[in-house]
Every structure is written in C-alpha cells, then in structure tokens.
Amino acid sequence: MFHTPSVLPLTVQDFLTGVPGVASAKPSSGRRVAFAHNGKDINLYVIADDTEKNVGAPARVVEGKSVPDKGEIIIDRVVGRSENIRIGDTIPIAGRTLKVSGYSEGGYILSFSFAFATKEDAESILQLPGATNFFLVTIKEGTDAGEVAARIEANPAVDAITKDRG
C-alpha cells in the first residue's frame, strides 16, 4: 500500500463482486504526497473520504470537523503540533490549497501521516479520474478469506491481501 501506488479502473469492481464469496467491493483511494511548509517537506498519505460508500474516514477525529467539506482536509494532530499547522490554516497540496478543518488521531507513522480529504478533492490531488488505488472487499459470512483471495488472484491483473496475510 505504501510503495508505487496501484491504479485500477473502477470496472474491476464488477469483476470483484462477481467472485463467489464476495459480499461487497468498495473502491478506496490514497497515496503519499508531499508539500512544503515553513521551508520543510511534509509527507501525508492523502485518503479519499467517501461518505457515500462509508470508506476512508479517519478512525478518530479529536478536534474540529469530523468530515471534511470540499476544499478541506483533516490531518493528524501530531503533524499539526509538530509542524505548527493549525485548524483554519491552508496548506498547498498538488497544486491545490486545502483548509485544515480538523485533527485526527492514530494516523502518524514516523515518515508520514494519514490525512483525509473529500473523495472529489482526493481524486483531483491523486489524479484518479475513473480509477482507484484499491478495493476493500468484504466476504460473505461463512466464507474462507483465503479461498476468496485465491479466486480474486486468478485474475492476473489483480492482487488480494487479506487481514492475516497483510
């Protein structure tokens, strides 16, 4: 997930939902991006918060808005504090200016942290029109995850990673 990002056409969803044992397949987009702030490069892993499909929301928002609006972004509180980025500040990301609307918690990982933007803003930042980085697949109850993953991987264009194989 943190190496070269995959780019999958949204039509892969049709393949996935047709695999025996798959209950749902939701597109999810995210990629590492950098921006300059106070003369320093800051790395964020920007995730598309798709409220319609209930995918990509921060696990916990501790201050500010829990859902970003268009033109807004939620960043991890650790980054906000360490880099002096406050709620209400604007940050330049991939040629866009986004207003920090909230702080999340639990998404800071040494060299980068997770940030959350609307699906539309994230797709623009990540340059993914008609595509996604991966799909979150839910399997039907009583189905073996390894068997479903093997069925998915029968398609040479798609890889499957299960929770226990992560």
For residue range 109-156, list pLDDT tens digits in order.
766 799 999 999 998 998 888 889 999 999 999 999 999 999 999 999
For residue range 91-112, list pLDDT tens digits in order.
999 989 999 999 999 877 766 7
Write the burial class of residue 67 (CB in 10 Å: 0-12 exposed, 13-18 middle, 19+ buried): middle
**Which pLDDT score, from 0 to 100, does residue 166 have?**
53
Alpha-carbon gap, residue 111 to 89, rounded angstroms: 22
Secondary structure percentages of the chain, helix, strand, coil, to 5: 15, 40, 40
Alpha-carbon gap, residue 66 to 119, rounded angstroms: 14
Of 109, 92, 89, residue with least CA distance to 100: 89
For residue range 73-91, list pLDDT tens digits in order.
999 999 999 999 999 999 9
For residue range 28-70, list pLDDT tens digits in order.
999 999 999 989 999 999 999 999 988 899 999 999 999 999 9
Of 157, 162, 166, residue with least CA distance to 8: 157
